[in-house]
Amino acid sequence: MRDYRNYSLLQHNTFGIDVRCDRFLEFESAEELQKIVLSLTKDDCPLLIIGGGSNLLLTGDFHGTVIHSSIKGTTCLPSDDPSVILLRCGSGETWDDIVELCVTNGWYGAENLSLIPGEVGASAVQNIGAYGVEIKDLIYQIEAIEIATGKHVEFSAADCQYGYRQSRFKQDWRDRYIITYVTYRLSTNFIAHLDYGNIRQTLSEQNIEHPTAWQLRQAIIDIRRNKLPDPEVEGNAGSFFMNPIVGKDKYLELARQYPSMPHYPVDDEHEKIPAGWMIDQCGWKGKSLGRAGVHDKQALVLVNRGGAKGEDIIHLCETIKKDVFDKFGIEIHPEVNIR
């Protein structure tokens, strides 16, 4: 267990915001976490539970206690179905390492989620998703420690009430539980999901019509690396905004004005419209506002041009939100956790 006071969070947020917390606690087992939560006092509050900091915007020094998991390791659990793999992963494992492990071993389902930054625990909080796949469809079980009691609890995916980039961990369970392990349900049967974004185009450029899981993973990695900035070079938290879901009437109204507008059906009554496309239409791609800016290849990504503070990113965020609403009549909301 690590326990530090007046600790810098610079290495714990991919935006590269240089702020500090009053106390930083890191645990390597569920037993260590139980001891931690039972020893917390009112002086430790408020609490901030973080993963890799890849979906986090810190707006200033955090006057409270930050808790981070360093639980590692993976285990295959028994399954009654030989085509099903139940993979139990420590919440401190890097998510993309898990995807690579799965593809290497012929355990399928997570390929489209390749190269998403962050850790296993955060995947279950955020309901990470990309290219037509969401983690909620792979989660079998979540283990956690209840902060108030130190008790070990288990949840199914249904218990978590997952939605688009949402879960009960982000809503009514916020600061109530800390995740220790996530078990994913994978398959030995590979089914390629290719009909989202430019996956087929990328594969076609490589003369691949029927990709293996490894080829699909590599195509996803190539797409992400081509359009997303490296946090080591330019601080960012990946996609800053969620793609809004609108009613059919609103979609049809906009489709008449913008016939080439990209969109993705959600159900019979709703369509998803890419926030990045709307931000681009407002002229923000590649532009800056002070030390904060919009990535020149993907307008959905806000970046730290160097030395930006959290308030600089927030100012840019609010300005973009207003421009999008003025032009399209749609409110867009941040995907990142702003603290």
- pLDDT digit string (tens) for 54-82? 999 999 999 999 999 999 999 999 999 99
CB count in 10 Å sphere of residue 129: 18
pLDDT in tens, 242-265: 999 999 999 999 999 999 999 999
The model's pLDDT over 103-123, given as tens digits with 9 standing for 90+, comes to 999 999 999 999 999 999 999
- In the predicted structure, residue 30 carries a pLDDT above the cut 90: yes
Using pLDDT thresholds of 50, 70 and 90, give the confidence band for residue 197.
confident
What mean pLDDT do residues 14-18 have?
A: 95
pLDDT band at residue 305, thresholds of 50, 70 and 90? very high
pLDDT in tens, 137-185: 999 999 999 999 999 999 999 999 999 889 999 999 999 999 999 999 9
- 239 an active-site residue? yes
Read off the pLDDT band of 196 (50, 70, 90): confident
Bridge partners, residue 25, by sequence:
3, 67
Count of beta carbons in the 10 Å neighbourhood of residue 11: 10
Catalytic residue among 165, 167, 217, 271: 165
pLDDT tens digits for range 226-240 = 989 999 899 999 999
User: What pLDDT score was predicted for residue 252?
Assistant: 97
